[in-house]
A and B are shown apart, each in its own frame.
Chain A
Amino acid sequence: MSGFQYEAPATVDAAVGLLAGARGNARVLAGGTDLLVQLRTGAAQPDLVVDIKRIPELRQISGNAASGFVIGAAVSGSEIGEHKELLKAWPGVVEGMELIGSTQIQGRATPGGNLCNASPAGDCTPGLVAAGAICVIAGPSGRREVPVEQVPVSPGKTSLAKGEFVVAFKLPARAKNSGDAYLRMIPRTEMDIAIVGAVVNLTLDASGTCTAARVSLGAVAPTVLLVDAAAKALIGTRVDDAALANLAAAASAAAKPIDDKRGTIEYRTKVAGVLARRAAVIARDRARSNA
């Protein structure tokens, strides 16, 4: 591991100042579950590491389902999983975060880190994308907000400029009769990187017809895919078998995976459809019971 400076600022402004003023490469340290592995292998060789866990705003969850939750970028997976209201309103978002690694990883991993590591297979990002989450970014020019899917641009790369870092995620107000679900395919039962991930987030009206939907896929493209065609396959339907078949086909059609040591193109394409369908069933059932 090559040497680096380490700073642990107590405010967002101080962090921005350090990142903007860094002479060489700077990396943000949240949970460290990706960064420390990269430091060890030499994949990351920063000159400066800025630890953002001492900034109170980044470690809090505020708001509620009706007004919209705000999740600090450096809240740990364990803390997210323990937040009862968040789990009730957005089980798919929480599921995604909770499936990252082991209990030990959960004690440290953060949604900000998972997003900005920009792995195509990151477990938390698809749920945030399907939820319509907004990323709050702090930087030298102040704060800006962008849809979360605009942050990762390619494997390992984000759209953040020098001096910028993610401060929080804003979830929209949660409509009644809504549900979301995240499913992923892994060879074991835990501990694996997703071969395919799928999230369906939908809202039903009083008669059980889907009035809104967002469908996202992970691990089948360089970044998370938000699949309009898949959402359209659900909107206006009762999320019945015919609609689900259309959804699955749209998901498979949208998938643009690669062959690698974890899965083949053929496999990922097929299973994207299977998981999208299964996630839609769970989301629908959750929406029905979520007055």
Chain B
Amino acid sequence: MAGYEGKEFKWIGTRPVRPDGVDKVTGRATYGADMNLPGQLTGRILRSPHAHAKILSIDTSKAAKLKGVKAVITGKDFPDMHNGVLPGDEGVNFHYLSCNIMAWNKVLYDGHAVAAVAATSAAIAEEALALIDVKYEVLPHVIDVDESLKPGAPLLHDDIFTTGVTPKPDKPSNVVQRVQMQLGDPDAAFKDADIVIERTFKSKAVHQGYIEPHAVVAEWSEDGQCRIWCSSQGHFMVRTLTARLLKMEVAQIRVMPAEIGGGFGGKTIIFIEPTAVLLARKAERPVRIVMSRDEVFRGTGPAPGTSIDVKIGAKKDGTLVAATGEFRYQAGAFPGSPVGAACMAAFGPYALTHVRAVGYEAVTNRPLCYSYRAPGAPLASFAVESIIDEIAQKLNLDPLELRIKNGSKEGTQMVYGPKLKAVGNLECLKAIQNHPINKIPLGPNQGRGLAAGFWFNLGGQSSAVVNIAEDGTATIMTGSPDIGGSRASMALMAAEVLGIDYTKVRPIVGDTAAVGFCEITHGSRVTFATGMAIIQAAEDVVLQCRQRVAKMWEVDVDAVKWEDGHALPAGANAGDQKPLSLAQIAAKAARTGGPLVGSAAINAGGAGPAFGVHICDVEVDPETGHVTVLRYVAAQDAGKAIHPSYVEGQIQGGVAQGVGWALNEEYIYGADGRLQNSGFLDYRIPVASDLPMIDAIILEVPNPGHPFGVRGVGEVPIVPPLGAIANAVARATGVRMVDLPLTPPKILAAIDAKK
């Protein structure tokens, strides 16, 4: 921790009410669909009913003539994007992105956008959609990843040539890439094992399930400038991608961040913003588009289904000797599955000398797969943790001791390259080991399951400004949307550095014209990286205060120190001066150099990887296969919990999502390639009565890369639950389930088969 080691914090680690809280509990807070502009039109999108088809023609003439319709667009209204990556955009393929936002000459999934209208009412817009005549030539489709990897599978694109294989293919296929990460020689090392367990695991696509559907209001003015209101996980990303897709200058677009009703990675990319802008331009009126829940399931970015082989070998005493995994991930209609991240994270909790992770990605006729909280890792962890648990069972070893014995720690070499610095894996394992849950006896049909998980976290670009008002109160501004209470954390960090009361710090999320660039909220980076920018901006203010006081006292700046929000003489040589508060210094700002403004713009390095260990008890009804989660404990290393309540909240929320992923959530497709459960009735996320209280234990092994020791916390919690639940079910039933989700019919069939 740079400069704050051993310091007693006044604000960091406390649990005050969040600054944006009152607006949220009164319904005043403005989310994406709450914005209304005068003259606003309603936009609606026409979506493909076919999983795979050529678009032969689109006739919009009848729709355009309908009274009340002000604009109609199709893919041809978008600028023609050629293949390839535009420089500076770090791997975004704008041809694919544009195609996903509105189909070019093919539809690639049920729900793919093909046209859009803007009209004076929702009813008229819907009537207009029904008048658009699209002629399709239906093509064979492929939904399953293993099917898509086979030669001869229906081809989605003619420009995908598998990377990472030799020789380089000369024919296109659906196989996007092969990746490999390896340490040592696992194939040889397996020979030293006393026991080797190998299994194949499968899972289905799941959705992030945020309760707020995507929403945007776009306004166009005659000088070519554009304002967008939307909720997102990164309004700078919205600005950049919209500008590139519409061939506009970035600064022509101003994105105003609405409050966001959940994202979990699914709102780190755009789906409807350029469509709204084009409609607004054509209609010469603002246009609002709000997705229906059906559209959210069919037309946004769920997490991929997978097919995974894992093989682990161990000695009789539980020492792991070798591990390999092959991870086959769907990509949806366009490349972009997180299989690389899966390979990086899968074996993270274990110190292995001989390990290999291989990943394959195949496109399928489904919506574009996108990020969902530790993308790639939960399924990989499910597979690995299931095998580890089975090894413990077969060797008659305590599963927790087995993980301690082989646990990653400081100095462990990760398969993707770096060696770990100080981390909290063993601390989490010990916390679970010592937890009272272990003393609770289990009844019939009950089982206890354990799993560990790892995520590497990210740093990246953030900007922040700290403005001190004439009375010493502070307004702090960043460009990171508040997805989980981060305003409170920013205010706590600023209050700590400035040395003023938390309630005197007002944090706001600035729009793209008001504050410097901020990367999307991914990699659990907001408290870490945007927080670091806030800290630096506040330190900038502190330095300026010291400089101004130094002038007033006619001493060197080194003779002035800052403590508890006051400038003080650093030693006797500074003279006998009374301390000056921030308020007093601010009152004199005009006379001492001008407004007191601190700023920082960084590309943060030093993100700390983090570990979590979960344990849970389940009961399985042996006659129906129904699973009840009785108890759940999750321990996680947060580095330093700035606001512990919100760290606990991240852990509990990730656990709930993982439980749903393990037990009930799945995309269900018919043989026709159409999604059958595009609503919350049959896409079953956990409800309040499905879960017990979730005991969240925060460990703090400070991350040396952050001034306060912060590690990202948002993603780790979703990694262990799939394994923990599956292992608990295995212990309760005696059957190892390898096919997620573990629905009652599947569990009952497995129990009955075992009899």
Are B677 and A261 in contact, CB atoms less than 8 angstroms apart? Answer: yes
Q: Are B684 and A274 in touch, CB under 8 angstroms?
A: no
Interchain CB contact (< 8 A) of A187 among B126, B689, B744: B744
Q: Is A13 among interface residues, defined by CB-CB distance under 8 A?
A: no
Q: Is A10 in the interface zone, CB < 8 Å from B?
A: no
Question: B687 in the interface, Cβ–Cβ < 8 Å?
Answer: yes
**Distance between B481 CB and nearest chain A CB, rounded to angstroms:** 29
Q: Tell whether A6 is near chain B: CB-to-CB under 8 Å.
A: no
Within 8 Å of chain B (Cβ to Cβ): is A84? no
Tell whether, in the assembled complex, residue B686 and residue A188 are in contact, meaning their CB atoms are under 8 Å apart: yes
Contacts of B126 in A (CB 8 A): 1
Q: Which residues of A contact B624 (CB under 8 A)?
A: 185, 271, 274
Question: Does A261 lie within 8 Å of B682, measured CB to CB?
Answer: yes
A267 in complex: contacting residue of B682, B689, B748, CB < 8 Å = B748
Taking CB atoms and an 8 Å cut-off, the chain A residues in 236-285 that contact chain B are: 261-264, 266-267, 270-271, 274
Residues of the A chain whose Cβ atoms lie less than 8 Å from the Cβ of B748: 267, 270-271
Q: Which range holds the interface residue count of chain B?
A: 20 to 34
A188 with B623: CB separation less than 8 A: no
With a cutoff of 8 Å between Cβ atoms, the chain A residues found around residue B22 in the complex are none
Q: Which residues of B contact A267 (CB under 8 A)?
A: 625, 744-745, 748-749
**CB <8 Å contact, B677 and A187:** no
Contact assessment for A193 and B687 in the assembled complex, using a CB-CB cutoff below 8 Å: no
Residue pair B626, A262 in contact (C-beta under 8 Å): no
Q: How near does chain A come to B744, taking the closest CB pair, in angstroms?
A: 6
Which A residues, 219 to 245, have Cβ-Cβ distances below 8 Å to chain B?
A: none
Contacts of A193 in B (CB 8 A): 681-682
Do the beta carbons of B745 and A261 come within 8 Å of each other? Answer: no
Given A1, A187, A274, which contacts B743 in the complex, CB threshold below 8 Å? A187
Cβ B123 vs Cβ A1 within 8 A: yes
Q: State A274–B745 Cα separation when bound (angstroms).
A: 14
Q: Mark A57-69, 1 if CB is under 8 A from B, else 0.
A: 0000000000000
Assess the B123–A261 pair: CB atoms within 8 A.
no
The residue on A at minimum CB distance from B664 is: A187
Do A274 and B623 touch (CB < 8 A)? yes
Contact flags B117-135 to A (C-beta < 8 A → 1, else 0): 0000001001000000000
B676 contacts the other chain (CB 8 A): yes
How many Å from the CB of B672 to the closest CB on chain A? 13
* Per-residue interface assignment for chain A, residues 179 to 219, with 1 indicating a CB less than 8 Å from any chain B CB and 0 otherwise: 00000010111111101000000000000000000000000
A266, B682: Cβ atoms closer than 8 Å: no
The interface residues of chain A lying within 8 Å CB-to-CB of B663 are 187
Q: Out of B123, B677, B687, name the residue touching A190 (CB < 8 Å).
A: B687
- Cβ contacts under 8 Å, B147 to chain A: none
Q: Are A191 and B687 in contact (CB under 8 A)?
A: yes
Say whether A185 contacts B689, CB under 8 Å.
no
B668 interface hit (Cβ, 8 Å)? yes
How far, in angstroms, from A190 to B676 measured CA to CA in the complex?
20
**Complex CA–CA separation, A162 to B623 (angstroms):** 45
Residues of chain B in range 648-696 having any CB-CB distance to chain A below 8 Å: 663-664, 668, 676-677, 681-682, 684, 686-687, 689-690
Provide the bound-state CA to CA distance between A195 and B684, in Å. Answer: 14
Interchain CB contact under 8 A, B123 and A3: yes
Closest Cβ neighbor of B686 among chain A residues: A188
As a 0/1 sequence over residues 427 to 461 of chain B, the CB contacts with chain A under 8 angstroms (1 = contact) are 00000000000000000000000000000000000
- Are A271 and B123 closer than 8 Å at their CB atoms? no
CA distance A185 to B627 in the complex (A): 12
Render B726-750 as a binary contact track against A, CB cut-off 8 A, 1 for contact.
Answer: 0000000000000000011100110
Partner of B749, one of A188, A195, A266: A266
Q: Which residue of B lies closest to A189 (CB)?
A: B689
A261–B668 CA distance with the chains assembled, in angstroms: 7
CB distance from B662 to the nearest CB of A (A): 12
Residues of B contacting A274 with CB < 8 Å?
623-624
Chain B proximity of A277: nearest CB distance (Å): 9
**Bound form: Cα–Cα A185–B623 in Å:** 11
The docked-state distance in angstroms from the alpha carbon of A189 to that of B744 is 12
Are the CB atoms of B744 and A188 closer together than 8 Å? no
Q: Tell me the minimal C-beta distance from A109 to chain B in angstroms.
A: 14
Residues of B within 8 A of A262 (CB): 682
Find chain B residues with CB under 8 A from A187 CB: 626, 663-664, 684, 743-744
List chain B residues, Cβ under 8 A from A3. Answer: 123
B745 to A264, Cβ gap below 8 A?
yes
- Can you list, as one digit per residue, whether each of B623-651 has a CB less than 8 Å from chain A (1) or not (0)? 11110100000000000000000000000
Contact with B along A7-30 (1 / 0, CB 8 A): 000000000000000000000000
Q: Which residues of B contact A185 (CB under 8 A)?
A: 624, 626, 744
CB distance from A117 to the nearest CB of B (A): 14
Q: Which chain A positions have C-beta within 8 A of B684?
A: 187-188, 191-192
Report which residue of A3, A195, A262 has the largest number of chain B beta carbons within 10 angstroms of its beta carbon: A262
Residues of B within 8 A of A263 (CB): 745
Instruction: Determine the distance from Cα of A153 to Cα of B20 in the docked complex, in whole angstroms.
Output: 54
Q: How far is the CA of A3 from the CA of B126 in the complex (A)?
A: 12
In the complex, the chain A residue whose C-beta lies closest to that of B668 is A261
A103–B745 Cα gap in the complex (Å)? 27
Please name all residues of chain A whose beta carbon is closer than 8 Å to the beta carbon of B682 when the two chains form the complex: 193, 261-262
A84 to chain B, nearest CB (A): 24
Name the residue in B126, B690, B743, B745 with the highest tally of chain A Cβ atoms < 10 Å from its Cβ.
Answer: B745
Chain A residue with Cβ nearest B622: A274
- B623 and A271 contact, CB distance less than 8 A: yes
Alpha-carbon distance A218/B690, docked complex (angstroms): 23
Q: Which residues of B contact A270 (CB under 8 A)?
A: 748, 752
> What is the minimal beta-carbon distance from A2 to any residue of chain B, in angstroms?
8
- Bound-state Cα–Cα, A251 to B668, Å: 29
B689 is contacted by which of A190, A261, A264, A266 (Cβ under 8 Å)? A190
A267 to B676 CA separation, bound complex (whole angstroms):
20
Q: What is the minimal beta-carbon distance from B204 to any residue of chain A, in angstroms? A: 12
Whether the pair B676, A261 counts as a contact (CB closer than 8 A) is yes
Complex CA distance for A262 and B684, rounded to whole angstroms: 11
What is the CB-to-nearest-CB distance from B739 to chain A, in angstroms, rounded to a whole number? 14
User: Taking the nearest CB of chain A, how far is it from the CB of B747, in angstroms?
Assistant: 10
Give the distance in Å from the alpha carbon of A261 to the alpha carbon of B674 in the complex: 13
Q: How far is the CA of A244 from the CA of B677 in the complex (A)?
A: 36
Bound: A3/B677 CA distance, A = 27
Contacts of B752 in A (CB 8 A): 270
Q: Are A188 and B123 in contact (CB under 8 A)?
A: no
Bound form: Cα–Cα A266–B126 in Å:
41
User: How far does the Cβ of B733 sit from chain A's closest Cβ, in whole Å?
Assistant: 16
Residues of chain B within 8 A of A195, CB atoms compared: 744
Smallest CB-CB separation from B745: which chain A residue?
A: A267
Chain B: minimal CB distance from A245 (Å): 13
Name which residue of chain B comes closest to A275, CB basis: B624
Residue of B nearest to A185 (CB): B624
B676 engages A189 (CB within 8 Å) = no
- Whole-angstrom distance between the Cβ of A22 and the nearest chain B Cβ: 22
Residues of B within 8 A of A264 (CB): 745
Q: A261-B676, A261-B677 are in contact. Are A188 and B745 (CB under 8 A)?
A: no
B285 to chain A, nearest CB (A): 23
Chain A residues, Cβ within 8 Å of B687: 188-191
How far apart sit A184 and B752, CA to CA, in the bound complex (Å)?
21
Cα-based distance from A190 to B626 in the complex (angstroms): 13
List the A residue with the shortest CB-CB distance to B666. A261
A185–B676 Cα distance when bound, in Å, is 21
* Residues from chain B with Cβ under 8 Å of A261 in the complex: 668, 676-677, 682
* 20 A/B residue pairs, CB under 8 Å, sorted by A: A1-B123, A1-B126, A185-B624, A188-B687, A188-B690, A189-B687, A189-B689, A192-B684, A193-B682, A261-B668, A261-B682, A267-B625, A267-B745, A267-B748, A267-B749, A270-B748, A270-B752, A271-B624, A271-B748, A274-B623
- In order of increasing CB-CB distance, the 10 nearest A-B pairs are A267-B745, A189-B689, A274-B623, A261-B668, A261-B676, A190-B689, A189-B690, A188-B690, A187-B664, A191-B687
Question: What is the interface of chain A, defined by CB distance below 8 A to chain B?
Answer: 1, 3, 185, 187-193, 195, 261-264, 266-267, 270-271, 274
Knowing that A185-B744, A189-B628, A190-B687 touch, tell me 11 more A-B residue pairs with CB under 8 angstroms.
A1-B126, A187-B744, A188-B687, A188-B689, A191-B681, A191-B687, A192-B681, A195-B744, A262-B682, A267-B749, A274-B624
